C-alpha cells in the first residue's frame, strides 16, 4: 500500500520528531523541507544562495522555488512506496500545485499552545557537526554545549531565537494555517493533540496510528 502523508502544524510543535517515528514504523522516508533548505545552503547550491537570507529571517521561501525542490526530491526512488512530508505544503498555492506531481492521502495536523511551542524552539540546540538535536531542559547533553555523539559544539540556530520564533509563528498563522483549511476540503485531515512531554510520545503517536488505520 502506497501512503503519502503530510505533517502539519506550527514550527516547534514536534512534526519532525513524530514523522521519524512514523517513517520507521511504516518504512517510508521523511522528507523535511527544512533539511532540504539547510543542505542547499550548506552546499552553497544556486538555490541555497537564493534562500539563505530568507530562511534566517523566518520568512517563507517563494513557492516556485519550494515546489521545484520538493518535486525533484519526491521523484527519487525511495519515495515510490510513499513518503511523509514535513514542511510542505506551507502555502495554499503550494497545496494547489502539489497534485500536479504527487497526491496526498492524509494530513496529520499537530496542535499545541504557543507558549509551549516558544519554549520548545528557544531551548533547542543543534550540533554544528552531525546535526543532532538537544534541548536545554528536555534532552540535555552529558556535557553542556557538547554533542554526545561527535563532540561537536551545540549551537542555537538563527531561526530558533525568540524574536525570529515570534515572526515564524506570525507567518504560520497568516500563510500556513489556511493550508489546513484548504486540505480539509480535499483529503482526510486528522487533528493530533501534541501538548505532551517528550516522555509521553506514545500518546501522540497512538493518535497518528488511529488516523492512518482509517485509510485501510
- Which of the residues are catalytic? 15, 90, 124, 157, 168
For 123, the grid coordinates are 531551548
- The edge-to-edge listing of strands for the beta sheet with 30-32 is 30-32, 82-86, 3-8, 106-111, 188-193
Kindly state the DSSP code that residue 146 receives in the 8-state scheme: B
Q: 80: exposed, middle or buried (C-beta count within 10 Å: 0-12, 13-18, 19+)?
A: exposed
Nearest one of 2, 40, 36, 1 to 16, comparing CA atoms:
36
Q: How far apart are CA 35 and CA 139, in angstroms?
A: 21
Beta bridge partners of 135: 124, 139
* Cα R_g (the chain), whole angstroms: 17
Burial class (CB in 10 A: 0-12, 13-18, 19+), 158: exposed
Amino acid at each position: 500500500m502506497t501512503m503519502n502523508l503530510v505533517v502539519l502544524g506550527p514550527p516547534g510543535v514536534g512534526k519532525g520528531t513524530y514523522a521519524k517515528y512514523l517513517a520507521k514504523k511504516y518504512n517510508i522516508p521523511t522528507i523535511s523541507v527544512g533539511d532540504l533548505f539547510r543542505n542547499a545552503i550548506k552546499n552553497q547550491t544556486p538555490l541555497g544562495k537564493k534562500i539563505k537570507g530568507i530562511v534566517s529571517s523566518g520568512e517563507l521561501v517563494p513557492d516556485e522555488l519550494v515546489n521545484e525542490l520538493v518535486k525533484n526530491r519526491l521523484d527519487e526512488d525511495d519515495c515510490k512506496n510513499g513518503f511523509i512530508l514535513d514542511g510542505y505544503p506551507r502555502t495554499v498555492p503550494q497545496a494547489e500545485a502539489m497534485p500536479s506531481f504527487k497526491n496526498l492521502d492524509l494530513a496529520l495536523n499537530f496542535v499545541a499552545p504557543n507558549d509551549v511551542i516558544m519554549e520548545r524552539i528557544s531551548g533547542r540546540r543543534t550540533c554544528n557537526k552531525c546535526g543532532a538535536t538537544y534541548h536545554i531542559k528536555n534532552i540535555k547533553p552529558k556535557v553542556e554545549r557538547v554533542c554526545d555523539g561527535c563532540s561537536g559544539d551545540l549551537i542555537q540556530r538563527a531561526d530558533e531565537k525568540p524574536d525570529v520564533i515570534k515572526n515564524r509563528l506570525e507567518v504560520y498563522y497568516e500563510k500556513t494555517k489556511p493550508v489546513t483549511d484548504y486540505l480539509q476540503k480535499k483529503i482526510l485531515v486528522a487533528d493530533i493533540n501534541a501538548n505532551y512531554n517528550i516522555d509521553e510520545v506514545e500518546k501522540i503517536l497512538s493518535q497518528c496510528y488511529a488516523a492512518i488505520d482509517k485509510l485501510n
